[in-house]
Amino acid sequence: MSLAHDLTQVSMPEDITTEMLTRIDEICAAHRGKPGALIPVLQKCQEVVGYLPVPVQERIADKLGVPGHEVYGVTTFYSFFSMEPRGRHVIRVCMGTACYVRGGKEVLERLERHLNIPVDSTTEDRRFTLEQVRCLGACGVAPVVVADMDTHRKVMADKIVDLVESYE
């Protein structure tokens, strides 16, 4: 992940509601002072907001009583945390070895062409976020694509366009 995020941005993004912030405060209050709490807190907060922009990280740091740089460091280290807003549907193409040798690479290339975005980015209309993931452990049914919570098996390149188009 690029480190060139604009850290001077201070105002809370408009799509983050007061209810979300209240929920973040509650999550932090429940974990404050507990050793090793930061990662579970970030996981829960990302579930609430959908992503973790710097102002949200600052709020977490403040409420949890840990330095802001530590929150930023952890957020940028783990691939499950995102600092950008995500699409309504997240399409994850498995790039584990089994999927790779059975055509996962071609599936990803086809999707990049179809959605007209590079991997690890979101379409302009925020309909899709396209990601590649590390082995999902479903190698027996490779190549695998996970759309939101649905695992699709044996998805070959010629089937993928119809598949993603079924997600409005």
Partner 1 sequence: MSQISINDLAEIQQKSQQAQALRHGQTGVGTQRMHLLVCGGTGCQAAGSIAVIDALRAEIAKQGLEEEIAVVETGCNGFCALGPVMVTYPEGIFYVNLEETDVAELVESHCKNGEPVERLLYKDPGTKKRIPHMRDIPFFALQRLIALKNRSMLDAESIDEYIGQGGYQGMAKALKEMSPEQIVAEVKKSGLRGRGGAGFPTGMKWEFCQKATGDTKFVLCNADEGDPGAFMDRSILEADPHAVVEGMVIAAKAIGSHHGYVYCRAEYPLAVHRLQLAIDQAKEYGLLGDDILGTGFSFDLQIYQGAGAFVCGEETALMRSIEGKRGMPRPRPPFPAQAGLWNKPTILNNVETWANIPQIITNGGDWYASIGTEGSKGTKVFALTGHINNIGLVEVPMGTPLRTIIYEIGEGIPKKHRKFKAVQLGGPSGGCIPEEHLDTLCDYEAIVKAGAIMGSGGMIVMDDSTCMVDMARFFMDFVQDESCGKCTPCREGTRRMLQILERITEGKGEPEDIDTLEELAEMIQQASLCGLGQTGPNPVLSTLRYFRDEYMAHVVDKKCPARSCVALLEFKVDVDKCKMCGLCFKNCPVDAISWKKKEPAVIDLDKCIKCKTCIENCKYDAIY
d(CA 123, CA 167): 14
Candidates 59, 63, 89, 110: give the one binding partner 1 (CB under 8 A). 110
d(CA 101, CA 68): 42
Shortest separation between residue 43's beta carbon and partner 1, angstroms: 7
Candidates 16, 28, 38, 52: give the one binding partner 1 (CB under 8 A). 38
Q: Any contact of residue 58 with partner 1 (CB under 8 A)?
A: no
Q: Any contact of residue 43 with partner 1 (CB under 8 A)?
A: yes
Q: Any contact of residue 87 with partner 1 (CB under 8 A)?
A: no
Q: Any contact of residue 67 with partner 1 (CB under 8 A)?
A: no
> What is the Cβ-side half-sphere exposure of residue 102, based on CA atoms within 13 angstroms?
18
Q: Any contact of residue 101 with partner 1 (CB under 8 A)?
A: yes
Shortest separation between residue 11's beta carbon and partner 1, angstroms: 27
Q: Any contact of residue 136 with partner 1 (CB under 8 A)?
A: yes
- State the sign of the Cα–Cα–Cα–Cα dihedral 150, 152, 157, 161: negative
> What is the Cβ-side half-sphere exposure of residue 113, based on CA atoms within 13 angstroms?
10
The alpha-carbon radius of gyration of the chain (Å, integer) is 18
Pairing status of strand 128-133 against strand 121-122: antiparallel
Interface ranges with partner 1 (CB under 8 A): 35-40, 42-43, 70, 73-74, 77-81, 95-98, 100-102, 106, 109-110, 133-142, 144, 151-153, 157-158
